[in-house]
Amino acid sequence: MPPLDFLRDPEWRRELRADAFGKGFWGFFAAAGILGVVCWLVRGQEAFLDALAKDAVLLVGLMPRVVVALSIAALVYFMLPRDRISGLVGQESGVKGLLVATAAGTVTPGGPSSAYALLAVLAVSGADRGAMVAYITAWATLGLQRVLVWDVPFMGAEFAILRVLVSLPLPVLAGLIARRLPLELHVREEEDARRPKRSGART
């Protein structure tokens, strides 16, 4: 079929709208509204408008990143040899898998849009819960790019090095804890995979 046919598929478009403006969206919408009212009442109109202005600036900066990050994640999703990933960071991978996930998180460039989009790819590639937690923890706390761009200029190189050294064992530890917690984990991607006609089913 021609590559863009899915755009005209009414079923697909309906599901896309449900994903975009479902229950979750209205929850967020209500939270934003309530917090806006609280902010206006507590801090006054000036703070309220100041917050909105900052949001607008942030949004303009954010959108190109989101588009690029999601493009990367979509490409990686189809290009990565997923069976090999599950060997590296799957349930049988032990501490080695957590170390691999930690290293991957440390070198993942970009903000949360890229890290979480790649985490979603990891989730459908058979990474276990410990590796997923270790990956995102490593990105959050050890991410090289973040340390260089934020810690060093704001807090000084010495503080940055100290913080990184102190944080080195944390992602593996978090992964080990995650493997032992008796919690159920349903990843959105896996739910998608059970629905036909979605890209998530193409595993």
Partner 1 sequence: MNYGFLALLVLLFVLIAVALRQRQDFGPILMRFCEQFAKLVPRMLCALVAAGFIAQLIPKQTISGLLGDDAGLLALPVAAATGLIVPAGPVIAFAIAAVFAKAGASTPALVTFVTSWSMYAAHRILIYEVPLIGASFLRLRALSVLPLPFLAGGIAFLAGLLTHYGMLPVPWTAG
Among 88, 90, 103, 112, binds partner 1 (CB under 8 A): 112
Going by C-alpha positions, the residue among 29, 125, 33 that lies closest to residue 77 is 125
Strands (E), 7-129: none
Taking the complex as a whole, how short is the minimal distance between the CB of residue 87 and partner 1, in angstroms?
21
Query: What single-letter DSSP state applies at residue 8?
Result: G
Number of residues that bind partner 1 (CB under 8 A): 107
Taking the complex as a whole, how short is the minimal distance between the CB of residue 34 and partner 1, in angstroms?
8
Rounded to 5 degrees, φ, ψ at 76 are -60, -35
Give the footprint of partner 1 on residues 120-149 (CB under 8 A): 120, 123, 129, 132-133, 136-137, 140-141, 145-146, 148-149
What is the rounded CA–CA span in Å between residue 28 and residue 36? 12
Yes or no: say if 95 and 172 are a contact pair by the CB < 8 Å rule: yes
Query: What single-letter DSSP state applies at residue 45?
Result: H
185: which 2 tokens? 């984990």
Binding region for partner 1 (CB under 8 A) out of 87-95, 98-106, 154-162: 154-162
Which is closer to partner 1, CB of 54 or CB of 96? 54
End-to-end CA distance of the chain: 19
Residue 203 in contact with partner 1, rule: CB under 8 A:
no
Taking the complex as a whole, how short is the minimal distance between the CB of residue 147 and partner 1, in angstroms?
10
Give the footprint of partner 1 on residues 24-83 (CB under 8 A): 24-25, 28-29, 31-32, 35-36, 38-39, 42-43, 47-48, 50-52, 54-55, 58-59, 61-62, 64-79
Yes or no: say if 47 and 35 are a contact pair by the CB < 8 Å rule: no
Among 60, 154, 194, 196, binds partner 1 (CB under 8 A): 154
Residue 103 in contact with partner 1, rule: CB under 8 A:
no
